C-alpha cells in the first residue's frame, strides 16, 4: 500500500529573496541559492542555536545533547518547543511510523487534543484516571480534558458509523499530541508531560481476528524500530490504566531506562531484517510473534525470579534497564460493551467488537535513539532518522575553489535525492567539525583547498570516524549508495 495519505508538515525554507526584503538587507554577496529542489540549506542562514556548555537542567545524555544541538527548548516543566533541527528528526520518525502503519493496512486519521469529559464518563475513566489527566473547563462551564489517549473517542466514532461485520476488520490510527500531567517530568522529551504519540485502534469481530491485529501490530512495530536504527525488544508487561489481558511493551535497552528488565540474552540476536511479510497472513504474523516473544523477556512488573531461573540458563540471564518506546494491547470488549460499539454479525446478532490499542511514543523516541547512539562528542544519528543526510564542511569560506566545489557538491547531493546541510560559516575548521559532530549527521564531506589541489574531498563516517579521500563525484555516489534502501 502506498503511504500517500500523510502530508509533509514542513514548508520549504523562505526564499532568500523574500528574506532580503523582510530583513531590510539590500545586498547579499552569496551566489544564487536556488537549486532544482529548493533553497540552499546553508548553516549561515539556518537556525541552529548550539550550545558549547550544557544547560544545568539536563541530567542524561539525550536531554543534554538535544539542548546542546539546538533541537529543543523547554517551554515549561515537561513541555518543549521543537527547534528546526529537532523538528526535522521528529518529522522523520513520524514519517517512518506512518509508512509502516500503512504498509500494515492501518488507516491514518486525526482526532483532537481536547476531548469532552462526557465521553470519558461513559467508560468510567473520567473518575478513574486521577490527577494525571489535565482537566479544563470552557466558558460554558463544560468539562473538557486534554487527551492522554483516545479509546473513548475512537469507539464513539466507530459506533456512529459502523454497524456491520462486513466492514471489519478495521484499524484506525493517528499521531497526535497527548498530555499527561506527570508529577515529575524529567529526562527531556523522554518523560515529558506533552508528548507526540501514535495510537492505533483495531476493531474486529472475533477474538481470533483481534489477535491477528495484535500480531500484525507487533510485526509492524519491529519493522518501525529497526528502520530507526533501534533494537526494541517486545516484553510482557502490565496493562496499566488502559486495561486488558494481552500486552507487550517494546523496550530499548539503555542504562538510563526507567524500567528494570529481565531477559534471555538470545533475544538480542533477533532481527526482523529485510524479510518479506504478508500482513494478511495470520500464520506469518503469528510465527513472527512466536519468534520474538517465546523467550523470557519481562519488565519488573511481570518478572518472576523462579520462572526466570527455570526458563533461562544462568549464562543467558540478563538484568538491565530499558526505555519503553511502544506498547500493544488486546482488551476485547472493555470499551465496546459499555459504550455500545456493536456490529451485526452474519447471524443477525448484535455483538460488541473486539478491540485493542497500540501506541508508539514518537517524541520520546528521539531521546531513546540518542541514548542508544551518541559518544562524547555528540549525537550519532542512524541513517533512517538523521535530520540531514550529509554535512558539507567548507574549510575555507571565501576561497573560490572551495566555495565552488561545495556548491557543486550540494547540488549533486540534492540531485541524488538527499538533503545536505552546508556549513558555509566563516568559522575555523575545529568549530565546524565540533558542530557537525554534535548534531550527529552520519556522513560528512570535508572540502578544503588542500584536497582540492589533488581533486579530492574527504568523506567521513560520524560513527566510526573513518575517512577516505574521494573525488567529489565519488563521494556523492558513495553517500547515495549508503542511503539507498535506508530511506
Write out the residues near RNA by the rule CB under 7 A.
50-57, 59, 68, 74, 76-78, 132, 180, 182-187, 190-193, 195, 197, 240-242, 249, 258-259, 324-327, 359, 361, 363-364, 377, 395-396, 427-431, 433-435, 437-438, 446, 448-451, 458, 460, 465, 467
| Nearest distance in Å: CB 426, RNA | 8
| Nearest distance in Å: CB 421, RNA | 15
The 3-state DSSP class for residue 304 equals coil
Give me Rg for the CA atoms of the chain.
25
**Integer Cα distance of 119 and 221 in angstroms:** 29
Q: Give the ranges where 373-463 is alpha helix by DSSP (H).
A: 400-415, 429-439, 449-453
| Nearest distance in Å: CB 313, RNA | 29
| Nearest distance in Å: CB 51, RNA | 5
- Please name the helix (run of DSSP H) or strand (run of DSSP E) that holds residue 179, with its range, or none: strand 170-179
Judge residue 227's burial from the number of C-beta atoms within 10 Å of its C-beta, 0-12 exposed, 13-18 middle, 19 or more buried: buried
| Nearest distance in Å: CB 328, RNA | 11
C-alpha torsion angle, residues 12, 18, 20, 22 (rounded to 10): -100
**Integer Cα distance of 17 and 28 in angstroms:** 10
DSSP 446-459: EE-HHHHHTT-EEE
The DSSP secondary-structure symbol of 166 reads: G
**Integer Cα distance of 367 and 195 in angstroms:** 12
Closest CA to 114 of 58, 179, 175: 179
| Nearest distance in Å: CB 364, RNA | 4
**Integer Cα distance of 195 and 326 in angstroms:** 13
With respect to RNA, which residue has the nearer C-beta, 143 or 300? 300
| Nearest distance in Å: CB 471, RNA | 13
Burial per residue of 267-296, b for 16 or more beta-carbon CB atoms within 10 angstroms, e otherwise: beeeebeeeebebeeeebbbebbeebbebb
With respect to RNA, which residue has the nearer C-beta, 149 or 342? 149
The 3-state DSSP class for residue 381 equals coil
| Nearest distance in Å: CB 198, RNA | 11
| Nearest distance in Å: CB 410, RNA | 17
Sign of CA dihedral 344, 348, 352, 357: negative
Closest CA to 373 of 320, 429, 437, 318: 437
Amino acid at each position: 500500500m502506498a503511504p500517500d495519505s500523510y502530508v509533509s508538515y514542513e514548508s520549504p525554507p523562505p526564499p532568500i529573496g523574500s528574506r532580503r526584503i523582510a530583513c531590510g538587507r539590500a545586498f547579499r554577496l552569496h551566489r544564487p541559492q536556488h537549486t532544482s529542489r529548493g533553497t540552499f540549506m546553508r548553516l549561515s542562514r539556518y537556525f541552529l542555536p548550539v550550545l558549547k556548555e550544557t544547560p544545568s537542567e539536563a541530567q542524561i545524555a539525550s536531554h543534554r545533547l538535544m539542548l546542546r544541538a539546538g533541537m529543543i527548548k523547554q517551554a515549561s516543566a515537561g513541555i518543549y518547543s521543537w527547534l528546526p533541527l529537532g523538528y526535522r528528526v521528529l518529522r522523520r520518525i513520524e514519517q517512518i511510523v506512518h509508512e509502516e502503519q500503512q504498509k500494515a493496512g492501518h488507516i491514518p486519521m486525526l482526532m483532537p487534543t481536547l476531548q469532552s469529559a462526557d465521553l470519558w464518563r461513559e467508560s468510567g475513566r473520567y473518575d478513574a484516571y486521577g490527577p494525571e489527566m489535565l482537566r479544563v473547563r470552557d466558558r460554558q462551564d463544560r468539562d473538557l480534558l486534554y487527551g492522554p489517549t483516545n479509546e473513548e473517542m475512537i469507539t464513539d466514532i466507530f459506533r456512529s458509523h459502523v454497524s456491520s461485520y462486513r466492514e471489519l476488520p478495521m484499524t484506525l490510527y493517528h499521531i497526535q499530541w497527548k498530555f499527561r500531567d506527570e508529577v515529575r517530568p524529567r529526562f527531556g522529551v523522554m518523560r515529558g508531560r506533552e508528548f507526540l504519540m501514535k495510537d492505533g485502534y483495531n476493531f474486529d469481530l472475533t477474538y481470533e481476528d483481534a489477535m491477528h491485529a495484535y500480531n500484525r501490530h507487533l510485526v509492524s512495530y519491529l519493522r518501525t524500530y529497526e528502520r530507526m536504527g533501534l533494537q526494541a525488544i517486545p516484553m510482557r508487561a502490565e496493562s496499566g490504566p488502559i486495561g486488558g489481558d494481552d500486552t507487550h511493551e517494546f523496550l530499548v535497552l539503555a542504562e538510563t531506562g526507567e524500567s528494570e528488565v529481565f531477559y534471555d540474552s538470545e533475544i538480542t540476536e533477533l532481527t526482523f531484517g529485510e524479510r518479506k511479510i504478508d500482513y494478511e497472513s495470520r500464520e506469518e504474523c503469528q510465527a513472527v510473534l512466536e519468534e520474538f516473544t517465546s523467550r523470557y523477556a519481562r519488565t519488573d512488573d511481570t518478572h518472576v525470579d523462579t520462572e526466570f531461573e527455570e526458563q533461562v540458563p544462568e549464562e543467558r540471564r540478563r538484568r538491565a534497564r530499558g526505555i519503553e518506546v511502544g506498547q500493544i494491547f488486546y482488551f476485547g470488549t472493555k470499551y465496546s460493551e459499555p459504550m455500545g460499539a456493536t456490529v451485526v454479525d452474519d447471524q443477525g446478532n448484535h455483538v460488541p467488537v473486539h478491540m485493542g490499542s497500540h501506541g508508539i511514543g514518537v517524541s520520546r523516541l528521539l531521546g531513546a535513539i540518542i541514548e542508544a547512539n551518541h559518544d562524547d562528542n555528540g549525537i550519532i544519528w542512524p541513517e533512517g532518522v538523521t535530520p540531514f543526510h550529509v554535512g558539507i564542511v567548507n574549510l575555507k569560506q571565501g576561497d573560490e575553489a572551495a566555495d565552488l566545489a561545495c556548491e557543486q557538491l550540494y547540488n549533486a547531493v540534492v540531485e541524488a535525492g538527499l538533503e545536505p546541510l552546508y556549513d558555509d560559516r566563516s568559522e575555523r575548521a575545529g568549530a565546524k567539525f565540533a558542530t557537525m559532530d554534535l548534531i550527529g549527521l552520519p556522513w560528512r564531506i570535508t572540502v578544503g583547498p588542500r584536497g582540492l589541489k589533488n581533486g579530492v574531498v574527504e568523506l567521513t563516517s560520524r560513527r566510526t570516524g573513518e575517512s577516505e579521500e574521494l573525488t567529489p563525484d565519488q563521494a556523492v555516489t558513495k553517500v547515495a549508495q549508503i542511503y539507498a534502501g535506508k530511506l
